[in-house]
Chains A and B, each alone.
Chain A
Amino acid sequence: MATEQGSNGQMESQMELHGDELLVVDGVKKYFPITRGIIFQKAIAQVQAVDGVSFTINPGETLGIVGESGCGKSTLARCIVRLLETTAGRILFEGRDITHVSRQGMRPIRREMTMIFQDPYASLNPRKRVGFTVGEPLEVHKLGTPSEVKTRVQELLEVVGLNPEHYNRFPHEFSGGQRQRIGVARALAVNPKLIVCDEPVSALDVSVQAQILNLLKDLQDDFGLTYVFIAHDLNVVRHISDRVMVMYLGQVSELAPRDALYREPKHPYTGALLSAVPIPNPERGRAREPIVLEGDVPSPVNPPSACRFHPRCPRFVEGHCDVEEPQLRSFGEGHIAKCHYPLERWPMTSAEMRRRGSAEAHEEPVQA
C-alpha cells in the first residue's frame, strides 16, 4: 500500500505499510499562523512547528521522541490525538484515516488513544475529587453504572500504586509523583491501545521519576500498551523506548531502533545530543568530549534553507547542505537519517566530526 501525499512537491513520502501498524503518521505538518490586526486578522507568517513528519508504530512497542524545546515534539503529540488539527498529512489509527474525522466520530477513537501530560499540577482539575477525575472518561464513554465506575476507579488507583481509599481526595493532597500516577490512572481508565505520553516525568524528582518509569513499563507488560513517549532527556528515552526518533525544528533528523541510535548515530545532531549528556560517573564523565554546538535553535518561523541543521552543524559543507535538502536515507534495518554527510562511526570528537568522509554519503535515497 503506497500512498502519495505532499503539496509542495519536495515532501513526497511513499510509505510502505504492512497493514498491522497501530498508528501511521504520514507527512504530517502543523503550521501556526502569526497574525496581525485585531478585527481584520491577517496572517503575516507561519510557525512551521511540525513540517512533514512520517513514522509508524507497531502494537506493543514504545516509540521515543526526543528533541530540544521548540522542535515540535509536543505539537506532534497533540496532532496525533487530534487535540490540534493538522495542516497537511494523514494520521491512520488501526488502518483508519482519522485526520479529518468529526468530533462526534472521534469519540469512539478516543477510547483507544489517550494522553498523559507533563505537568501533574496543571493537568488535574483542582476542584474535582480524584475519583471523579479518574472516572470521568468512563462516564463520558458511558462505560458502566456509577457503582461499576467506582469499583473500576478504585481498581485503577490500586494498579497505579495509590491507595484506593484516596478516591475522595483532592489533587492538592497529593505530591507530584502521586499526581502523575493519577494522570496515568485516568489515561488507563478506558483500556486504551495507545497512550501518548508528553514529557510524563520531566517535572519529577529522580527517585519519583524512576517510580513512574517502572510503572509505565509494568503497565505495558500487563496490558500490552503501545506508547509514544516524548521527552527531552536522552537517558529516559533510552531506558523506555524500543525505537527512537530525533526531531529538529519540526522535522525528523533520525529514526532508528534504540540500540542502533545510541550506539551508531548517523546524524551529526544526534551525535551532538548524545555527547552533551553528562554521565554520572566521574571518570567516564570527565573523559567525554562534548560536541559543543554553536548558537541556538533557529526560529521555526523562518527556518534555515535546505538542511535545517546546517547553520549549527560541525560537518556543514557550503554549497551543498545549505542548497540541497537531504532526504531521509536508510542505514540498515529501520534506521533512517536525514544528512548528506552521515557519521561514519561513533563516538567521535568535534575535530573528527569536522573531517567528513563521503563513503556512505552516496547511498540511494530511502524508500520506506
Chain B
Amino acid sequence: MALLEVKDLRTSFKTEDGIVTAVDGVSFSVEKGQTLGIVGESGSGKSVTCLTIMGLNARRSTMSSGEALWKGKDLIRAKPSQLRKIRGDEMSMIFQDPMTSLNPVHTIGKQLVEAVQLHRDVTVRVAKARALELLKAVGIPKAEARIDDYPHQFSGGMRQRVMIAMALINDPDLLIADEPTTALDVTTQAQILNLMKRLQDDFGSAIIMITHDLGVVAETADDVVVMYAAKVVEHAKVHDLFNRPQHPYTWGLMGSLPRLDADLERLVQIPGQPPSLLRPPGGCRFHPRCPYVMGVCRTTDPPLLGAERDPSHLQACHLDQETKDREGTKLVEATMAEA
C-alpha cells in the first residue's frame, strides 16, 4: 500500500468573480522513502494540491472532492481533530517563506518544543533536548545558544533550516516541501538541498517536492508530476521525463530554460500567458499556447494515459506517438549538446 494515494482530487474556491477550480482531477501516489516532484508555473495548482491533502484550505470557501488516502484513511473527509493529529506528526510541511511561517514573537526553541508537545506526552526538558538534537542535525552552528533566539536573529538560510527542523521533529513519514529553496540564494539552496537529501537517507521520510525549478526536480525527485492549469499533463519517472518528455508543455518548459550545461542560441518560448482558471479554455487547456494544436485539441480534453511504449509514463496529449518521440528527442538532443 502506498503511503499516500491521491485519487481524482478536485479543489474549488468560491471567489467574488465565480468558482475557481484550482485542482482538477489530480491523481498520484507516494511510496515510503521516495521523492515526488511536482512542477508547474504559478497558478498551476501545485501548492493547492498539497494544502488540500493537509487540510489547510479555508473550510468556508473551499470545496474538495476525490480521495487522499493516507495509509488507507481518507484525509479529505477526515475531521479537523483527526487531521490535527496527523499534521506535524506523521506528515509535515515546509513552506516557501521562512520569515512569514515562523512566529516572530516566540523563540525558535519555544516553537520547536510546542511542536513536540502537541503530539507527544513529554516534559519540556525532553522536548527541548529533542529540539536541540534536530537543530544540530540541520546544521545550526552553536545550537545550544541559538535555541533561545528569535526568528529575526537568523538569516534566511538558517530560518529555513529551523523550519526543516520543526517539520522533522516528530519523525514524519511524509514531508511536503513547498518551494523550499525559492527564496534562497544559490549557495544556500545547495546547502538546503544537500541537507534534505541527507535527512531523507537518515530518517527515511517520503518527500513531496513542489517547485518551479526543473533543475531541483531533476536532481532530487524519483517521480515527477507536471501540472498545467490545475491538471496533470505528464507524470513519469524522472529519467523518463527528462529523456523522453511527451507533452508539448513539458517541452516548452524545458526549452525555455537558460542553462549552464548547454548553449542555446534562442530560448523556446511558449507564447501567451497561462489561462485564467475562472474560465479555462475548452478541450485541452494548453491548446491556445500549443504549437502543435489540432482540431481535436480544441474540443476534447485529452485523458491522462500511459505512453504507447511505456504504460507507466502518463501523459495527456492528442498528438500521435511518432510526433511526440520525434519532437521530444529533438529537444533533448538540443539541450544535451555540451556547452
Contacts and interface: CB of A to CB of B under 8 A. Distances in A.
Given A278-B216, A278-B218, A209 B256 contact: yes
B269 A280 contact: no
Contacts of A206: 41, 212, 214, 253, 256-257
A177 B43 CA distance: 14
Interface in B203-235: 212-219
Contacts of A263: 339
Interface string B173-209: 0000000000001111111011000000000000000
Contact of A285 (B194, B215, B253, B268): B215
Chain A CB within 10 A, most for which of B186, B243, B252, B270: B186
B259 A175 contact: no
B270 A290 contact: no
A277 interface: yes
Q: Which DSSP category, helix, strand, loop or mixed, fits chain A's interface?
A: helix
B124 interface: no
B48 interface: no
B101 interface: no
B323 interface: no
B254 interface: yes
Interface in A169-219: 175, 177-178, 205-211, 213-214, 217
B155 interface: yes
B185 A210 contact: no
A100 interface: no
B18 interface: no
A297 B186 CA distance: 12
B238 A276 contact: no
Interface string A275-288: 11111111111100
B273 interface: yes
Contact of B260 (A177, A211, A217, A262): A262
Contact of A207 (B157, B190, B252, B259): B252
A210 B190 contact: no
B213 A278 contact: yes
B215 A278 contact: yes
Interface in B266-280: 266-271, 273-274
B339 A262 contact: yes
Nearest to A269: B187
A210 B269 CA distance: 6
A279 B41 contact: no
Among A205, A208, A240, residue most surrounded by chain B Cβ atoms (within 10 Å): A205
Contact of A282 (B238, B257, B259): B238
Main secondary structure of the interface of B (DSSP, over half): helix
Interface stretch (A104-112, A132-140, A231-239, A328-336): A231-239
Nearest to A218: B266
B264 interface: yes
Contacts of A210: 255-258, 267-270
B84 to A, nearest CB: 34
A300 to B, nearest CB: 13
A226 to B, nearest CB: 20
A211 B212 CA distance: 17
A282 B223 CA distance: 11
B185 A232 contact: yes
B42 interface: yes
B162 to A, nearest CB: 14
Interface of A: 68-69, 175, 177-178, 205-211, 213-214, 217, 232-236, 238-240, 262-263, 272-286, 290, 292-293, 295-297
17 contacts: A175-B273, A205-B212, A206-B212, A207-B274, A208-B41, A210-B255, A211-B270, A214-B266, A233-B258, A239-B264, A272-B187, A277-B186, A278-B219, A279-B215, A280-B242, A292-B187, A293-B187
Interface of B: 41-42, 141, 155-158, 185-191, 193-194, 212-219, 238-239, 242-243, 252-261, 264, 266-271, 273-274, 335-336, 339
